[in-house]
Amino acid sequence: MITISSLSMRFGRCFAVRDVSAQIDAGDSLALWGVNGAGKTTLIRCVLGLLRFRGGVSVCGHDVLRDGKAARRLLGYVPQELGFYDEMGVGEAIGFFARLNGLRGTEPAASLRLVGLDGQHTKRVRELSGGMKQRLALALALLGDPPILILDEVTASLDAVGREEFIGMLKGLSCSGRTLLFASHRLEEVAALARRVAVMERGRVIETVDTQAFVAARATEMRGGAVLHLTVPASSREAAVRSLRELGFAARLNGLGLLVPVPPERKAVPFRVLADARIPVEDFDLVDAAEAASLAAQAKENVP
């Protein structure tokens, strides 16, 4: 369905994606995994034809640069955060994008119903919570029933409950035969949705492995410890990473938050460090080795 051949893309002299090739077949689900700046989002934007690149990307035989409209008709895209016309009503928004997809009649309402937004027609987009905005983005992506969904860290701005619900919805779509290409930095998301994982580092795909093996390897890497996902205010992210690194944590930015590997006996220390630095923690979750091992078992179900 999607063929990526020798794709390279650079901003100025710096390669954001370098010589990436991949084949994503019908019904497949490929996760792009990597730290911030690894090239996941840039690769997704190239697949959508939003950025110019060297190499080739075709969707069901349609070249995304030369025949972009036809290619994008087969793709539904959900971004990390929906930057939307805030004053637009939900019904108005879905109607507008439905017309752009050549749809009329009851399909927009059906799309809203599918993501649990029926009854929200009259609400303005700015009145929606973060989770509901992401549902709206998914409803827009599903207009016209595209066979491929492209998701760019779609749960990064959601809280734990919203994330679980959203992943459940995506799992249902994946099971219905849709092809998924998505960027993620959350192990539970990858374990729930992906059949294969492409690990990206500095713009390159360094390995593509099946999900179970990938998650199992992460569990082993933890050596009984855990990985802490922390959400802090955007303006404090860099300072938070610095404070944690000074205390010996290999903290790094990821998505909209921080990723902090923690040994078993120091799980609470990062909270104290950030409190001392007067950086509020807005949300957190923790994946420990035991959970990672159970996710690995769960990932086995992704392959039919």
Partner 1 sequence: MTALPSGLQADVAALRAPGFVSNVRTLAGRELRDAVKSRWFVLYTIAFAVLGLAVSFVSAAGTGGLGLAGYGRTTAGLVNLVLLVVPLMALTAGAASIASDRERGMLAFLLAQPVSRTEVLLGKYLGLASALLACIALGLGLCALILAWQGATANPAGIVWLAGLSVLLALAMLSVGMLVSVLARRASVAVGTAIFVWLTLVFVTDLALMAGVVALRLRITELLALSLLNPLQVFKMWSLLAVDASLDVLGPAGLYATEEFGTWLHPLLGACIVPWIVLPLAVAALVLSRRSPL
> Footprint of partner 1 on this chain (CB under 8 A)?
25-28, 45, 48-52, 60, 68-70, 72-75, 77, 79, 81-85, 87, 96-97, 99-102, 144-147, 176-179, 304
Q: Shortest gap between Cβ of 145 and partner 1 (angstroms)?
A: 6
99: CB partners within 8 A, 6+ apart: none
Using H for helix, E for strand and C for coil, what is the string for 56-87?
Answer: EEEECCEECCCCHHHHHCCEEEECCCCCCCCC
- Which of 50, 290 has the CB closer to partner 1? 50
Tell the smallest beta-carbon distance from residue 303 to partner 1 (Å).
9
Minimum CB separation from partner 1 for residue 259, in Å? 24
Of 100 and 250, nearer to partner 1 (C-beta) is 100
Q: Minimal CA–CA distance to 88: which of 156, 140, 165, 144?
A: 140
Which H helix or E strand runs over 209? Answer: strand 204-210
Minimum distance from CB of 177 to partner 1 (Å)? 4
| 36: phi then psi, degrees, rounded to nearest 5 | -55, 135
Q: Which of 102, 105 has the CB closer to partner 1?
A: 102
**Shortest distance (Å) from residue 175 CB to partner 1:** 11
Ordered alpha helix ranges (H), the chain: 40-47, 68-72, 90-100, 107-114, 130-141, 160-175, 187-193, 211-222, 237-246, 269-276, 289-299
Q: Which is nearer to partner 1, 145 or 285 (CB)?
A: 145
Cα–Cα distance between 43 and 32 in angstroms, integer? 9
- Show the tokens assigned to 287: 């994946």
Closest separation in Å from C-beta 51 to partner 1: 5
Q: Which is nearer to partner 1, 18 or 73 (CB)?
A: 73
Distance CA 168, CA 183 (A): 17
Count of C-beta atoms within a 10 Å radius of residue 89: 16
CB 202 → partner 1: shortest distance, Å? Answer: 20
User: Is the CB of 84 or the CB of 284 nearer to partner 1?
Assistant: 84
- Of 131 and 144, which has the nearer Cβ to partner 1? 144
